[in-house]
Structure 1
Amino acid sequence: MASAHGKQHDYHIIDPSPWPVLTSLGAFVLMFGLVSLFRWVHGAEFMLFGANFSTPWIFVVGLVVTLYAMGAWWADTIKEGHEGHHTRVVSLHLRYGMIMFIASEVMFFVAWFWAFFDASLFSAEAIQASRVEFTGGQWPPKGLEVLDPWHLPLYNTVILLLSGTTVTWAHHALLHNDRKGMIQGLVLTVLLGVLFSFVQAYEYMHAPFAFSESIYGATFFMATGFHGFHVLVGTIFLLVCLIRAAAGDFSPKAHFGFEAAAWYWHFVDVVWLFLFFSIYIWGGWGAPLAHG
């Protein structure tokens, strides 16, 4: 009788969970709050149903709810893995899910590259559409200084390439059951990710052009800014893996969480290489360089 009630398949039927609904609700409030935040920053009203929603607090509430639901959801997933529910089939599907997520992220960045190349290769049409006066019908816009690609952008390129090496070292150490090496590799990767973010923030603060000045600035900051956001997310992802590794999680045969983080980090590396060569080098070719 006991065997009749035992598990007869490799799939895991999860228990009813509040996290999908709570995550959706938090994401909706977050996006609504983002609009209200922008209106509040610009000192404008955001009227809806006779009330002014121009406040930063809606965004804060949405962000807190979303982060809490995501953390709790992932904690349940980790717990399921510890309980042995991540069978061969379940692990395979988790990998498929991560691959599809990264594929969606690729298409997300394709949109920003498309916008940049469309504006640069057909600058006259882009300038006319943007109604900007001082561009002069050329790319980069006439009179605009660009960032020197062989200064901070090259520095950040080296940082990310090194971080790709250290996360691979950590993965290799894990496969050989070297927990100390894995932790050391993760620590270095997280530190390099933080350093990249600080360098990019410094670069933004000293950029010789603004987001709203031209189509060049808009496409530049959208593409590089979203990449910077992904670096921040990847750094947090790896930091969580570091905490789990220090707590004794992961083994050579069961480490999908770390593997997913490594895949994501390598994706971030590859996107940056495309950004560096296409936007920093090719996109600013022939324009005067900003110094200082």
Structure 2
Amino acid sequence: MLNNYRIYRRRRDLGSRITQLHCTEQLAVGILDTGSPQQLNEALDWYLAEMNCSVHVVTQEDRIDVNAMQEAYSEVTFLVFTSMTFSGERINAVANECHTNFFLIVRSDQLLVRFDGNALLSLMVKPEHPATLAAVIANANKEVVPCVRAPHMNGRKIEPISYFPLFDGTGSLDTLYPVMSIGFYDRALFQRMRGFDEQIHSEYWQALDWGIRCYLYGYSIQISSALMVQFSERESVIEDRTETEGFLRCYTKALSVSQIKGKNIAHRYKGFFDKSVYREDVKKRMIWLQKTDFPTLCEQWVYPQGEKP
């Protein structure tokens, strides 16, 4: 898809630019502008003061005065979309522009209350590291909400189950996808997996699609106690799981390939099917790359309470 955003790059002196040509920064922060102007300013002040890495703000033309923000925050890169977008498209933009090994996705209406960089990096440099480390999420009352997701089917529908993050000594748990897409991403792996599906018009279905694809391709997603965000003004933190435009793309990629005796077989999943994604993604790519299928993933998943639903 053609980019529909403008890039207002951070202002650096020539010496800094030359230095950057010879090294790759480890981490970039991508802030999704989802709150008030004051919340965005407070978030930028905090990240610039507390984190020594490049900062990218993803916003929309009618939400900020770009020139004024560039003047106030010369070290920040602004990715400004011309129209309303979903989080997946915004995160894809951060991945395209940040040029770092890893990137952290947060929202301007959240506080970053825990970030143990060493612990996160130690997980991400392992040979079989997760594609994403999802964040623990707390509400305005500082209560952790159910932010672990487990794969589950209710009849013919995909309906992930939610759990509280009950960590053991490892400090991380498998989860199907990062809630609200908030998390710590491996940029190279993210782009190799082709990022979020921009033709899905839903934050929830985009995240679900991303998580399922990771697992079908043999990768994992984990939620880590080393990363926590808090919604400072929201007591209720829930997802909108409405079946909106593009959700059939998620179903088609998730359920159109079955493994039979170790061989991938493509088929049309009755009732939830998108012809174009079946032709372009499933038959041309997924049938050759999948390591497992979704029913097997559900069957083999280790659920937090130790009991299958």
Coarse TM-score class (shorter-chain normalised)? under 0.3
Q: TM-score, normalised by structure 1?
A: 0.24
Whichever of the two has the greater Rg, that structure is 1
